Structure 1
Amino acid sequence: MDPDALRADIPALDDATYLNTGASGPSPRRVVAAAEDALERQAFDAPAEDGAYATAFDVYDEARAAVADHVGADPTDVALTESTGDGIARVAAAMDWEPGDVVVTTDLEHAAGTLPWRRLERLHDVEVRVVETDGGRVDRDRFAEAVRGARLASFSSVSWTAGTRLPVAELTSIAQDAGARVLVDAVQSVGQHPVDVSEWGADAVAASGHKWLLGDWGGGFCYLSRDFAERLHPANLGYFGVEYPPTADYDLKAGAARFEVGTTSLAPCAALREAIAVIEDVGYEAIEARIERLTDRLKDGLDDERLHSPRRYESGLVSVRVDDPAATVESLRERGVRVKRIRDTDLIRASVHAFNTAADVDRLLAGL
């Protein structure tokens, strides 16, 4: 499948110039069909055949295997979640926090990557250190100073506002050398460029399928290194996370499996599995080449005063300074162009994926 074939399989693009994948991606028909097929099979066929649970477990296993293969992990180190924020929150709640413990994050993080730490700050007297960045860049010395004595460092692989790509492996090494665990928010990476968790070396990586992977809402995942997972006791514990039979003297399952709670809808899991297959059919070489070419075209149409993101390609997220972001987003919407307003800033953000075209970019520039 090439990017043009991908575009042809996304019905939402018939009625809009869609440049907001960084918020939520439009799904191809085959992804939605996979979700519908899974629901129908469980509801219509499974009761008279192997049963709803056996059918569900097959879908869960297939989704976990697809995620693991896509990010360079073992399926036993992947837990299915509902979203990136869900994965981050599960890790935060599973650690045994003490007053005075330190969490390090950056000023580039989405609320999903900050609220769990602010909760710990409020309820458990955990110290939250926020590393200030410059132009979407993390200063290594400043980060190294912040992680001294910290228990955890949590940061994004790609900034959701500036679109800068962070040096995940390097920051991970700095934090771990200081004795801290590392949790990465990778939702703006998977589906946009290759992710290999073994190369990153992080203790945990959370992401979701509904953005660049073009999956459905509710299909998230969290990778946990075996060593880290074995030290965590999930706050939300269900029979999926313990060895059978579940008793008062329960034993947690090994690895990431302890983070799964109980039955959940098959649709997002089936959609996640199929969305990964779609992205792999197109291939990251073609995806990155297309995104780079189109973001270059967009940036060439913007002067330095208006362009907030780096002029050199790093990701498909391109933020632009405007006088009135809310009015600009509404004006573009009336022209059929969908972009995002970054609240409490003077920025709007365009997300350029492989299904976009030069005409999409030109339509945005004309609207601006």
Structure 2
Amino acid sequence: MDPETLRADIPALDDCTYLNTGASGPSPTRVVDAITDFQHRHKFDAPCGDDGMYDVAAAERQRAREAVAGFVGARPEEIALTRNTVEGINHVATSIEWEPGDVVVRTDLEHPAGELPWERMADRHGIEVRELETEQGRLSLESLKTAVADARLLCLSSLSWNYGTRLPIGEVVDIAHDANTLVLVDAVQSPGQVPMDVHEWGADFVAASGHKWLLGAWGAGFLYIDSAVLEDLEPQRIGYFSIDRHADGEGYTYAPDASRFELGTTAIGPYVGLAESVALFEELGLDAVQSRIERLTDRLKDGLGDQLLSPRDYESGLVSFSVDEPDETAARLVTEGIQIRSIPEPHACRASVHAFNTAEDIDQLLDAL
């Protein structure tokens, strides 16, 4: 597998220049076919088969869990399958026994997925939500030390969605843990774009999804939970997938691993697609992905000149730039067959450059601007 083969297998690229993967990626035929094949097997063959629909579905869920775990450096029992990143963040937010006055620190770089759950916990439990200011996507570690000194939890992104900066997660975790502060990482912009190892990061929780840089289907995400903190979480929802019934049939115990956050029957197709996406990117190799993204973002940044807001040196495929009317510019480019997006803070435009893109894609965007 190479980037050219990947590009040829993405039908959407026949119809537009797609530079918006940071919002949602277009899927390869290979991923959609895997989902479709499963749906046929699950609904046409399994009902009367030896395994039955539930066993077939359970096997695919476990395959997806193992695929994700291997891809991010975790153990399968540390992975809960979710529908998306914000669901994973909500699992954490609602499972901690908050006390009035507890402090949650988040940066000013967070997507609403990393803001709204804490606002809700403030409304419900009287916690304090403290915003840590950054400078064009850069985090001051000295300011961080002060902010987390009395905090219960820190929530931050591995890659900022607005500037494309790569945050020093390992250093951040060390500082937070020195203050006995838990760390939750919103890693949605990382899988499929940069290598990630959750054990090296050392964070307590990592939430992400497969529909962006992994080019998977909507509805498949994951939550990593460090086994050292799992028992301190009390899920606020329950289902027959999340518990072990006591032998006498009376009472229950939550599952001893991260699967305690998985409730019951759900769509399995997206997880089949997630596992296929992981396999695809393992074949591509993330070094090759990063190398191609770096070359293409260099070309884009050179062309943008003083309009560039993201770092000049490569950190990710997210490239933000200033224009007079960001919303109108993004809408105009759609009519010219170019997909990017505007962002609210800073109010600007953002292009997302992936390995399936080409130099011609970059030049088309620059010409249109």
Distance (Å, rounded) in 2 between the aligned partners of 1:230 and 1:159: 30
Provide the secondary structure at the position in 1 that maps to 2:45: helix
Contact persistence 1:105–1:131 (CA under 8 A): yes
Aligned to 1:308: 309
1:257 Cα shift? Answer: 1.2
* 1:275 match: 277
CA contact (8 A) 2:148 2:176 kept: yes
1:243–1:251 CA contact under 8 A, matched in 2: yes
Distance 1:340 1:245 in 2: 51
Deviation at 1:302, TM superposition (A): 1.3
Aligned counterparts of 2:100 and 2:250: Cα–Cα separation in 1:
29
Give 2:177's aligned residue: 176
Please say if 1:22 is aligned against 2:15.
Answer: no
Instruction: State the secondary structure of the residue aligned to 2:349.
Output: strand
**Deviation at 1:200?**
0.1
How big is the shift at 1:346? 2.8
**Which residue does 1:320 correspond to in 2?**
321
CA contact (8 A) 1:323 1:346 kept: no
* Matches of 2:150 and 2:198, distance apart in 1: 24
Counterpart contact for 2:162–2:346, Cα < 8 Å: no
Give the 3-state SS of the residue equivalent to 2:254 in structure 1. Answer: coil
| Residue of structure 1 in register with 2:132 after alignment | 131
> Paired residue for 2:8?
8
Letter in 1 for 2:335: E
Q: Is the 8 A contact 1:186 1:205 kept in 2?
A: yes
Q: Which amino acid aligns with 1:355?
A: F
Per-residue deviation at 1:344? 5.6
Give 1:187 shift.
0.6
Match of 1:253 in 2: 255
- What is the one-letter code of the residue matched to 1:18? Y
Alignment partner, residue 44 of structure 1 = 44
Residue equivalent to 1:73? 74
1:180-219 mapped onto 2 (5 Å cutoff): 180-219=181-220
Q: CA deviation at 1:122?
A: 1.3
Q: Which 4+ residue blocks in structure 1 deviate beyond 4 angstroms?
A: 245-248
| Alpha-carbon distance in 1 for matches of 2:292, 2:2 | 10
228-237 or 89-98, which moves further after superposition? 228-237
- TM-score relative to the length of structure 1: 0.98
Which residue in 1 is equivalent to 2:154?
A: 153
Question: What SS does the corresponding residue of 1:362 show, helix, strand or coil?
Answer: helix
Partner AA of 2:198 in structure 1: V
Aligned residues of 2:245 and 2:251 also touching (Cα < 8 A): no
Q: Look up the match of 1:337.
A: 338
| Matched residue SS, 2:305 | coil
Q: Per-residue deviation at 1:248?
A: 5.4
CA distance in 1, matches of 2:226, 2:73: 12
Q: Are the counterparts in 1 of residues 162 and 345 from structure 2 also a CA contact under 8 Å?
A: no
User: Helix, strand or coil: the match of 2:81?
Assistant: strand
Which has the larger displacement, 270-279 or 249-258? 249-258
What's the offset of the Cα at 1:244? Answer: 3.5
Does the aligned pair in 2 maintain the 1:95–1:233 contact within 8 Å?
yes
Q: CA deviation at 1:180?
A: 0.7
Deviation at 1:241, TM superposition (A): 0.9
Aligned residues: 367
Structure 1 pair 110–248 and aligned structure 2 pair: CA distance change class (3 A): farther
The Cα of 1:260 is off from its aligned counterpart by 0.8
Deviation at residue 266 of structure 1 after TM alignment:
1.0
Tell me the distance in 1 between the aligned counterparts of 2:77 and 2:345: 41
CA distance in 2 between counterparts of 1:67 and 1:226 reads 16
Q: Secondary structure at the match of 1:302?
A: helix
Alpha-carbon distance in structure 2 between the residues aligned to 1:262 and 1:144: 41
d(CA) in 1 for partners of 2:175, 2:146: 10
- Over the aligned positions, Cα root-mean-square deviation in angstroms equals 1.0
Question: 2:305 corresponds to which letter in structure 1?
Answer: D
Do 1:185 and 1:205's aligned partners in 2 also have CA atoms closer than 8 Å? Answer: yes
Superposed CA deviations along residues 56-87 of structure 1, whole A, max 9, x for unmatched, are 00010000000000001100000000000110
Q: Is the 8 A contact 1:225 1:255 kept in 2?
A: no
CA distance in 1, matches of 2:262, 2:17: 37
| Deviation (angstroms), 1:326 | 1.3
- Taking the aligned partners of 2:292 and 2:84, their CA distance within structure 1 comes to 27
Say yes or no: does 1:102 pair with 2:124. no
How is 1:85-96 mapped onto 2 (pairs within 5 angstroms)? 85-96=86-97
Identity in percent: 56
Q: Distance in 2 between matches of 1:303 and 1:264?
A: 48
- What secondary structure does 1:222 align onto? strand
Q: Give SS of 1:44's match.
A: helix
TM-score, normalized by length of structure 2?
A: 0.98
Deviates more, 1:233-242 or 1:79-88: 233-242
Residues 117 and 248 of structure 1, relative CA distance in 2, 3 Å threshold = farther
For 1:193 and 1:248, locate their aligned partners in 2 and report how far apart those are by CA, in whole Å: 47
Displacement of 1:239: 1.1
State the match for 1:262 in structure 2. Answer: 264
After the TM superposition, which of the residue ranges 243-252 and 190-199 deviates more from structure 2?
A: 243-252
Q: What CA distance in whole angstroms lies between the structure 2 residues aligned with 1:93 and 1:24?
A: 27
- Paired AA for residue 196 in structure 1: D
Distance across 2 between alignment mates of 1:158 and 1:37: 34
Q: Quick one: which amino acid aligns to residue 21 of structure 1?
A: T
Unaligned runs of 5+ in 2: none
Q: Which residue of 2 aligns with 1:144?
A: 145
Give the secondary-structure state (helix, strand or coil) at the position aligned to 2:145: helix
What code does the residue aligned with 1:213 have?
A: L
